[in-house]
Structure 1
Amino acid sequence: MSRLFFVYNPSSMAKTLRLNVLGPFHAQWSDGTALDVTGKKIQGLLGYLAVESARPHSREQIAALLWSETGDERARHNLRQALSKIRRSNGALISSNGETLALDLELCTVDARDFEGLARSNEVADLERCMALYQGDLLDGLVLREALYDEWLVGAQHHFRRTACDVIERLAAGLAEVDRLEDAVDVLNRRVAMDSACESAHRGLMEIFERVGRRSDALRQYQFLTDALSREFGTAPSPETTVVYERIRTGGGGSAQRVSSPPEEAAVDSEHDLPAVAVLPFDNLSGPEDNYFVDGTVEDIITALSHFSSLMVISRGSTFAYRGREVSDRQVATELRAQFLVRGSVRRAGDRVRLNVQLLDAHAGSTLWAHRFDRELEDVFVVQDELSSTIVSTLAGRVEAAQLAKARRAPRGRLDAYDYLLRGKEHHNRETRGDTEAAIDMFEHAIEADPGYAQAHAWLACGLGMAMRFRPLEYDELLDQAEAAANRGLTLDESDSECLRILAQIALLRQNPRLPIRHQERGLFLNPNDDRSVCAMGEILSFAGRSEEAEGWIRKAMRLNPYHPPRYWSHLARALFHQGRYRDALEALQNFTAPRVRELAFQVAAASMLGDADEIGKYVAGLRKMAPDFDVERFVDTLPYGDDDDRATLRDALLALV
């Protein structure tokens, strides 16, 4: 199906432009001529304005986004030149009031806008049109190597890909319901082409083939899935898929009419009770013209929280029913069956916005966490995204902390799987030998209480990984056990991002060059607001010779979670060190109150590169005190570098002094 749709003004029949950004950048006028545009930065500018076309953007923001390394004055100059070039060749595609820029939607239509609108429908015809527009990743092939732009593009690509996957799941189910089974097969095959290890799509194809009597095709599809899971993740299909396979293999019949649900609904039911959170409508303290901003922020928080498998999030439809009602927190919580409530208020004044947020334990009548966010309002939607992402990551941690406090007071015999998990995580985060053994014990009790609890298996893997630090003679055995536990968790719940994060770390330790990034990308696709997964991507890239990208991911994790653990500073310091920013690396490491050998070694290496004799003496003395028998070669060889040049740089810096 063609991607080109044109809109004509019947009064003037003036030509209009179609901008296609879902896939490679493509722009064509309604008379069939291509847009005269050269240069990746101009494509990047038009692509950004096309995707973010709901509002104007300040010139300063656009300049910083596309030319962040040139300085403010030079960036503004480059933006003026780009705008002038577009205007000379193509007319007033971009409208401006002097301070802000926006795509002229009277003159342009954008495939991404149409895609988003159609994706909200549940009509099969609309969903088919929606997927006809999705021709690949957003701005596929466009590489600018600008940190801010690249961060925006990665996030936007994930958003559109997640939306496309959701549309495919709903479209396949809708087509199957009206007996358009061959079309459903085509749609699910497209999902498999996007991700060869998407188990729900393979399972859906198996069920359709079973339904139409294509038994051999169903069994072959299972083999395709088995090969993909083994190749990509070193794991096997889930029990749910295996049940379908055995039914088809043995000719057992049964419920062959169902097409698999989306991944988030396919997880094995669990006996543990997750904490329920209800985000209530925030109070708008400004005026009705800001309702869109207030409600949009709340909706973003609800959507992002729902990606955390450790929480049950009450839907927007339920919580917004309480707008304007005088109801006590306890009554709201009782009616919604939620333990935790999120309340807030928003006030805008000039070019600033203030957002107050509270996390309440409604049954205890206490405030668990409160924070005030003050931001400049240069771009209202960028501010909205930043606030919602930070709030979501922080809320998830605060809810867990409150549940942990409750778990500490409960007799051990009454603890359920979730409480065992929380106690285990508390021990795990202390990072001592005794606490590590206690953590493993708690995780094993969680599994005993609920064998189908995927996150308990994931955290058992994490605990076994920590034990490797204290039991080096059992390193290989513990690593194998950790990998088996994480794979078991992923088998139980293929959409558990925690399992994927841990499998990425295991693959990193095994110094596999591609698998860590593959696992982590999949985990971030499932939960883009988990600061641990975001930071883990930075850690992986810092060892892969991609230190500039690594810095961006790690700083994003720090923004997501202001209460982040100290190790984030260690990963940031390594990324800065390998960019040659040795003073910045030392400043990052100053945030450690109790540095480990790894942090002390990087302090020595950074001081060595700077050549300051006083600093060198101080840091070498600190390292020798902590590790009298420190061996440079052994230390460097234990780090999972995939980039030989970075490994050599660290080794040479340390050998010069130690």
Structure 2
Amino acid sequence: MLAADVAGYSRLMGADEEDTLARLKAVRKALIDPTIAAHRGRIVKTTGDGMLVEFASAVDAVRGAVEVQHAMAEQNGSVPQDTRIEFRIGIHVGDIMFDDNDIFGDGVNIAARLEVIADPGGICISNDAYRQVRGKVEIVCDDLGPQPLKNIAEPMQAWRVRPVGQTPSAVTSGSALGETQALSLPDKPSIAVLPFQNMSGDLEQEYFADGIVEEIITALSRFRSLFVIARNSSFTYKGKAVDIKQVGREMGVRYVLEGSVRKAAGRVRITGQLIDTATGMHLWADRFDGATEDVFELQDQVTRSVVGAITPTLERAEIGRAVLKPTGSLDAYDHYMRGIASAYRWTSEATSEALRHYYRAIELDPEFATAHAFATTCYAWRKSNGWVTDAASEIAETKRLAERAVQLDQNDAQVLCWSGAALGLVCGEVDAGGALVERALRLNPNLMDAWLSSGLIRLLLRDWSIAIEHFAHAMRLSPFDPLLFMMQHGTAIGYFQTDRYDEAAAWSAKSIGENPNNSSAWRIMAASNALSGRQEQAQKAILRLRQIEPAARIATIKYAVPLSPSELARMEEGLRKAGLPE
């Protein structure tokens, strides 16, 4: 099986959609389709930027792939780097299943995953394919070692293909480096923001593009959890054709953000792509449009959107890396990331598992401030769901962890906001917690966590309308965040406390859609519907609540939710009408 796609397809389409489609169609007609047919291949299906091809043998597949890549390299010789159409190709030999005109199975999946880790213009093959073509095709293969492939249970041996006579690639035998010595990666997510390309030829847009990059670098630098390459180093690549993997090695970063700016007919289009330098895989891409007279407003919009989108993307990528890492080689940071992965399952058992990982991270690194802070969030989540068994002990431990986290790092906005929120939610120290959250917002106004924490503190202070505003700001910063359900649930609480039960029920439904196991959201859903006269929906919500939390009773609400007597009475009234037992 051969899987192929166009490297940087989103960037090419964002720059010039019509031209990219026309050139891709011409390449397929003149080069790719005839070459595949000449080597006894059958195109099973195509996507916008790629294709899946079945061959009679691995030898045919590799020969056809080499011929395609050689011809594409010759054709691209006179084409600017940023506008080249370059294919990545993955090849595997394995079992497949036929269904009508399509094929399925591990053979297909592995070929597709190998294509992802191939270089632009390159070919990556599995060990099974390598054994069948060794000595039969005029190629040299570089051993990449076992490679973790997405949704494939075990790491797989992979090989990089290059024609005989071609200079060895940057990595051979799984470890050796080429001419440029790679820098070691920091112990936290690392990123370089490359100069955005000016696609319009307008010098004014050059300054605008540089300004966007500087704003994004500044905004990302406020995240103490990130290692961000300084502007002067990133701009050494300005005006140069770059290999993203080479940038990763030279700068010692795991991720690169690149983009472009294009001006036409009074409009400005900005594109951005976040790339994993180890695999070349695009983790995130988006584009932004605005009027030329609003360039500064557009610049701010792009900065907010890019930072808000890529920070949770980086977190998900780092969680994936930690989970794939063999247990025997875990260190403090990996336990911390595993703790986040466990916490994001939102169950009682998973929360306890997350705490174990955070405590192990602290044991390995007693000065790991963020691990202390995130451990407090587990206690806050336990309290909000009524899972606390020893309240006095958990309050004392939350206070100890929060104070120690702040003592270790008073300038990390993430440490401050989560420690502050926990002090308020678990320990009842709302003023002290609020002061920490406010400091976090001053340090990093682009941090979604800080706006979410501020919304939670505002709920405790009974500033309902401000709480709703702060949750809305958090959602604007990170609309696809794993914590989105908390923002939506906080909004529902704000509306419930202002007697706007229809809005409360609607926002509860949104929160439940993101996290069906949030028992607190089901309580608001049940009470809101009951107080609005929708008894059937209220009773259904209670049934689901008791499935998630069998011990839920009217009498236990006061332990899970910090409410004033009048607020508690209204919540109890709604839940009683919905059918929750006393």
TM-score with structure 2 setting the length: 0.61
Deviates more, 1:608-617 or 1:545-554: 608-617
Which residue of 2 is the match for residue 381 of structure 1?
296
The 1:487/1:595 distance shift into structure 2, 3 A limit, reads same
Q: 403, 406, 414: which is aligned to 1:490? A: 406
1:157-196 matches, within 5 Å, as: none
Deviation at 1:350, TM superposition (A): 5.0
The Cα offsets for residues 576-606 of structure 1, whole Å up to 9 and x where unpaired, read as 2233432222222222231533212211222
The CA distance in 1 between the partners of 2:538 and 2:368, in whole Å, is 49
Deviation at 1:343, TM superposition (A): 0.4
The 1:377/1:426 distance shift into structure 2, 3 A limit, reads farther
Q: 300, 311, 318: which is aligned to 1:403? A: 318
The CA distance in 2 between the partners of 1:516 and 1:576, in whole Å, is 23
User: Is 1:636–1:650's contact at 8 Å kept on the other side of the alignment?
Assistant: no
Deviation at 1:410, TM superposition (A): 2.1
The answer on 1:611 being equivalent to 2:527 is: no
Which residue of 2 is the match for residue 532 of structure 1?
449
The 1:572/1:375 distance shift into structure 2, 3 A limit, reads farther
1:582 maps to a residue whose letter is Y
Q: 273, 277, 280: which is aligned to 2:194? A: 280
Q: 567, 570, 573: which is aligned to 2:492? A: 573
Deviation at 1:455, TM superposition (A): 1.3
User: Is 1:272–1:450's contact at 8 Å kept on the other side of the alignment?
Assistant: no
The CA distance in 2 between the partners of 1:489 and 1:622, in whole Å, is 37
Q: 551, 556, 562: which is aligned to 2:468? A: 551
| Percentage of identical aligned residues | 31
User: Is 2:386–2:556's contact at 8 Å kept on the other side of the alignment?
Assistant: no
The CA distance in 2 between the partners of 1:351 and 1:630, in whole Å, is 59
User: Is 1:597–1:627's contact at 8 Å kept on the other side of the alignment?
Assistant: yes
Which residue of 2 is the match for residue 71 of structure 1?
none
The CA distance in 2 between the partners of 1:470 and 1:430, in whole Å, is 17
Which residue of 2 is the match for residue 475 of structure 1?
391
The CA distance in 1 between the partners of 2:393 and 2:208, in whole Å, is 53
Which residue of 2 is the match for residue 10 of structure 1?
none
Unaligned runs of 5+ in 1: 1-270
1:461 maps to a residue whose letter is T
User: Is 2:190–2:255's contact at 8 Å kept on the other side of the alignment?
Assistant: yes
1:119-130 matches, within 5 Å, as: none
The 1:353/1:647 distance shift into structure 2, 3 A limit, reads farther
Which residue of 1 is the match for residue 502 of structure 2?
583
SS of 1:365's equivalent in the other structure is: coil
1:74-223 matches, within 5 Å, as: none
User: Is 1:437–1:467's contact at 8 Å kept on the other side of the alignment?
Assistant: no
User: Is 2:418–2:453's contact at 8 Å kept on the other side of the alignment?
Assistant: no
The 1:324/1:628 distance shift into structure 2, 3 A limit, reads closer
The CA distance in 2 between the partners of 1:624 and 1:473, in whole Å, is 18
SS of 2:390's equivalent in the other structure is: helix
The CA distance in 2 between the partners of 1:581 and 1:355, in whole Å, is 40
User: Is 1:554–1:572's contact at 8 Å kept on the other side of the alignment?
Assistant: yes
User: Is 2:402–2:422's contact at 8 Å kept on the other side of the alignment?
Assistant: no
The CA distance in 1 between the partners of 2:550 and 2:330, in whole Å, is 44
The Cα offsets for residues 455-490 of structure 1, whole Å up to 9 and x where unpaired, read as 122223333444555752222212211221222222
The 1:633/1:409 distance shift into structure 2, 3 A limit, reads closer
The CA distance in 2 between the partners of 1:556 and 1:542, in whole Å, is 15
1:267-346 matches, within 5 Å, as: 273-286=187-200, 287-346=202-261
User: Is 2:346–2:517's contact at 8 Å kept on the other side of the alignment?
Assistant: no
Deviation at 1:560, TM superposition (A): 1.0
The CA distance in 1 between the partners of 2:278 and 2:445, in whole Å, is 31
SS of 1:430's equivalent in the other structure is: coil
Which residue of 2 is the match for residue 600 of structure 1?
522
Q: Which has the higher helix share?
A: 1
The Cα offsets for residues 354-412 of structure 1, whole Å up to 9 and x where unpaired, read as 33211112232222222233457784333322321221132122222222222223222
User: Is 2:376–2:422's contact at 8 Å kept on the other side of the alignment?
Assistant: no
The CA distance in 1 between the partners of 2:437 and 2:386, in whole Å, is 26
The 1:656/1:275 distance shift into structure 2, 3 A limit, reads closer
The CA distance in 1 between the partners of 2:460 and 2:378, in whole Å, is 23
Deviation at 1:413, TM superposition (A): 2.8
1:357 maps to a residue whose letter is G
Unaligned runs of 5+ in 2: 1-184
The CA distance in 2 between the partners of 1:498 and 1:457, in whole Å, is 11
The 1:504/1:354 distance shift into structure 2, 3 A limit, reads same
Which residue of 2 is the match for residue 67 of structure 1?
none
Aligned residue pairs total 387
The 1:455/1:626 distance shift into structure 2, 3 A limit, reads closer
Which residue of 1 is the match for residue 429 of structure 2?
512
The Cα offsets for residues 191-216 of structure 1, whole Å up to 9 and x where unpaired, read as xxxxxxxxxxxxxxxxxxxxxxxxxx
The CA distance in 1 between the partners of 2:242 and 2:541, in whole Å, is 59
User: Is 2:348–2:387's contact at 8 Å kept on the other side of the alignment?
Assistant: no
1:574 maps to a residue whose letter is I
User: Is 2:437–2:450's contact at 8 Å kept on the other side of the alignment?
Assistant: yes
The 1:637/1:404 distance shift into structure 2, 3 A limit, reads closer
Q: Which has the higher strand share?
A: 2
The Cα offsets for residues 425-470 of structure 1, whole Å up to 9 and x where unpaired, read as 1112112233233322222232233222211222233334445557
The Cα offsets for residues 52-77 of structure 1, whole Å up to 9 and x where unpaired, read as xxxxxxxxxxxxxxxxxxxxxxxxxx
The 1:649/1:296 distance shift into structure 2, 3 A limit, reads farther
The CA distance in 1 between the partners of 2:393 and 2:497, in whole Å, is 32
Deviates more, 1:374-383 or 1:294-303: 374-383
The Cα offsets for residues 204-231 of structure 1, whole Å up to 9 and x where unpaired, read as xxxxxxxxxxxxxxxxxxxxxxxxxxxx
The 1:464/1:613 distance shift into structure 2, 3 A limit, reads closer
